[in-house]
């Protein structure tokens, strides 16, 4: 057998024997931007979606639930779509939830966001009730303490503890006033760009949101798969 043919057969055999390299799961990748927002997925994705969200917005919670299987489970996972989440804070409970989601860190942020939205029907009524019954008392506290009290009164501490956040980490989260100020600053910028939540940008252009089915079609048309 000629040497070149033997070498070719050896190379083919090696290629066959080597295990296939698994494609990366981009849904597990989160990158924090300079403004404090998080980009979930491949930073170089062909399709870039920006979502302006509020944790106390029922429509945002509905979008999170309806879109998760396809948007995150398929489009983001494949690397064809990235989703940047920008806060548009509507109230004190919203700011408390936003701070907790960020305190989960880059690896935990996306999962914490999904968990907070999934349990919105449970914790949000408790947050409203707690705030109403304790309005005079909590108004005397600094804003970070107000947020911590509302979060605990709503049961968000229990929700985050189930995700591995210790009480010490919960306390440290609300002691970080610099991070709280950064969310407020991002939110101010968001409300200068939008009028309601959720709102979206698709590849840099404002998208007229009419529900997840329409947005899914627009994403696929742009190259999502």
Could you tell me which of 101, 121, 81, 117 has the C-alpha nearest to residue 37?
101
Q: How far is C-alpha 44 from the geometric centre of its chain's CA atoms?
A: 18
Q: Report whether pLDDT(61) > 90.
A: yes
Query: pLDDT digit string (tens) for 97-120?
Result: 999 999 999 999 999 999 999 999
Query: pLDDT digit string (tens) for 104-163?
Result: 999 999 999 999 999 999 999 999 999 999 999 999 999 999 999 999 999 999 999 999
CA pair distance 155, 114, nearest whole angstrom: 16
Q: Report whether pLDDT(3) > 70.
A: no
Q: How far apart, in Å, do the first and last CA atoms of the chain sit?
A: 46
The vertex-141 CA angle with 55 and 61, nearest 5°, equals: 5
Whole-number average pLDDT of the chain: 92
What pTM value is reported for the model? 0.89
Q: Report whether pLDDT(10) > 60.
A: no
Provide the pLDDT confidence category of residue 23 given band limits of 50, 70 and 90: confident
Is residue 203 a contact partner of residue 48, using CB atoms and an 8 Å limit? Answer: yes
Which residues are CB-contacts of 52 (< 8 A; sequence separation ≥ 6)? 86, 87, 88, 190, 193, 194, 197, 198, 199, 200
Which residues are CB-contacts of 28 (< 8 A; sequence separation ≥ 6)? 107, 110
DSSP reduced 3-state for 214:
helix
List of domains in the chain: 23-222 (3.40.30.10)
Give pLDDT, residue 20: 58
């Amino acid at each position: 057998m000629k040497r070149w043919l033997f070498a070719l057969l050896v190379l083919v055999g090696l290629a066959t024997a080597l295990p296939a390299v698994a494609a990366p799961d981009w849904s597990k990748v989160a990158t924090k931007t300079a403004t404090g927002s998080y980009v979930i997925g491949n930073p170089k994705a062909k399709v870039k979606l920006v979502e302006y969200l509020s944790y106390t917005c029922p429509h945002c919670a509905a979008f999170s639930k309806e879109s998760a299987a396809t948007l995150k489970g398929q489009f983001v996972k494949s690397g064809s779509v990235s989703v940047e989440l920008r806060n548009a804070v509507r109230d004190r409970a919203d700011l408390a939830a936003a701070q907790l989601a960020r305190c989960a860190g880059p690896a935990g942020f996306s999962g914490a966001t999904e968990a907070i939205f999934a349990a919105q029907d449970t914790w949000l009524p408790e947050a409203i009730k707690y705030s109403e019954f304790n309005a005079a008392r909590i108004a005397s506290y600094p804003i970070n303490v107000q947020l911590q009290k509302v979060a605990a009164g709503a049961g968000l501490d229990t929700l985050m503890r189930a995700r591995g956040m210790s009480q010490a980490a919960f306390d440290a989260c609300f002691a970080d006033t610099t991070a709280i100020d950064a969310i407020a600053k991002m939110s101010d910028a968001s409300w200068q760009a939008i009028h309601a939540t959720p709102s979206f940008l698709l590849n840099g252009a404002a998208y007229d949101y009419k529900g997840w089915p329409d947005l899914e079609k627009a994403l696929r048309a742009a190259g999502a798969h």
